[in-house]
Chains A and B, each alone.
Chain A
Amino acid sequence: MNSLSRRPLRRVLLSTVATAGGVVLLLSLKPHTTAEAAGATTRSAAPAPAPSASATSPAAGSGGSSGASGGTAGTRTVQGDTVQTRYGPVQLKVTLKAGRITAVSALQVPEDSPRDQEITTFAVPQLTQEAIAAQSAKIDTVSGATYTSEGYIQSLQSALDKAGG
């Protein structure tokens, strides 16, 4: 029908990627009872949650040159925009060494309830692993079920767009 479709595809191959994570897993967690997007209180220090120190160690690692960009041997940090989530505002910091992500940590997370702290404790280390997995997949763009404008904020495509510069 369409003459284009008769031509063979040029170099198309599907390869399976075991796990390449998205960056914003944090935002897909279940809400706690009262979700007040605007009203949640926040803190502005790096997370040091008491409950399970072992789980958070990947996120806390190598924050040496925090704050401004710079640092030696290609280590630098980048602060993300503050994003309003249904749990409250979230802001993340990414540490890169020689262009590779070595850590993700939270500058600002909601801490309205013990549930919030639980989420932070779980999500931030998870986020680090997912972000590192995503860059190892080396993708340019993402195809998936159509997202809305709101859904885009949480998407891997959004993270790629921000990364591209």
Chain B
Amino acid sequence: MADLADVAGVPGTDGRAGRVDRVDRADQDARADRVRRVEHTMGTVFSFDVRGGTGPRVEAALDAAVAWLHHVDEVFSPYRPESQISRLGAGTLALSKCTPEVWEVMRLCEDAERRSDGWFSARYGAGGAFDPTGLVKGWAVERAAAMLASAGAAAVCVNGGGDVQVHGGPWRIGVSDPLRKGALATVVHADGELAVATSGSAERGCHIVDPRTGRPPRAAPASLTVICRGLTEADTCATAGYAMGDLACGWLESLPGTRSFAVTADGSTWTTRGPGG
């Protein structure tokens, strides 16, 4: 197992280009049994890393997972005028005519809103139009990873723009240090079904607003990472907790099966561990 880690940890080793001329046997075995793929969609990049199953079923599941992400983008992108979400918002498409996936996402958004006491909201914008962007990516990644796991892959890691869902393992998931670009603040060790989602302003500036004021949250941490089993929940909790600012710690502490890790603006950190987490 340590060999797998070594393979992953060496930037610059481009196995696909066939330039790897020296690898020991363990490395070779690890490579043969591991598939990686990088896919650009939804304005970001998705990285797949699948171990222990490169047969036709897993290959097909990988293709299906990639197709699924593009499908989600087509249905849910607010940047595509022809997407169902855009047409729903414009009033040119009835909810009843939308794919059931839209209904499912709508229900999940309501769950997240209730669970976070309104701090996660898909209806905070002008006129309260339904905008599930804050939930869709995590949900899509969670499902893509499940597709691969159920096809028989022993270990699956899907990273959607910085939010991660894994199955099996072991996996070591670095958490970016929001105050020092390129450095890590911590590492999450996962073995089993687990999701790690991080909210913060390091990459795209402050894009999370307090749904009550429409303004940037007060006392927001530099970044907030939430760890629980599924990425839909981890991602929405990270978003809600980020918006809560200094109320986040107490709320996260109350969430069952959930851990969190925050880096504050002054570089200090705090963690929470909910019941059973």
Interface positions of A (Cβ within 8 A of B): 1-2, 4-17, 19-25, 28, 69-70, 74, 76, 78, 80, 92, 94, 96, 99-101, 104, 130-131, 134-149, 151-152, 156-165
Contact = CB atoms under 8 A, between A and B. Distances in A.
Interface in B2-43: 5-16, 19-24, 27, 31, 34, 36, 38, 40, 43
13 contacts: A5-B258, A7-B229, A12-B188, A12-B190, A12-B227, A25-B181, A76-B21, A78-B12, A134-B182, A146-B137, A147-B204, A158-B45, A162-B12
A145 B257 CA distance: 22
A161 B36 CA distance: 7
A13 B182 CA distance: 22
Interface residues of B, number: 85
Contacts of B258: 5
Given A8-B257, A10-B194, A163-B13, A149 B43 contact: yes
B225 A143 contact: yes
Interface stretch (B94-102, B160-168, B245-253): B160-168
A23 B189 CA distance: 22
A5 B184 contact: no
A140 B204 contact: no
Given A143-B188, A160-B47, 15 more contacts: A2-B233, A5-B228, A5-B230, A7-B229, A11-B191, A15-B186, A20-B174, A23-B11, A99-B27, A138-B172, A141-B173, A143-B176, A144-B176, A148-B161, A162-B11
Contacts of B114: 1
B164 A165 contact: no
B187 A17 contact: yes
A151 B47 contact: no
Contacts of B43: 148-149
Given A140-B49, A146-B161, A147-B45, A94 B16 contact: no
B172 A164 contact: no
A100 to B, nearest CB: 7
Contact of B276 (A6, A15, A101): A6
B31 A165 contact: yes
Given A10-B194, A78-B14, A138-B8, A20 B184 contact: yes
Nearest to B232: A2
Contacts of B256: 5-6
Interface stretch (B57-65, B76-84, B120-128, B195-203): B195-203
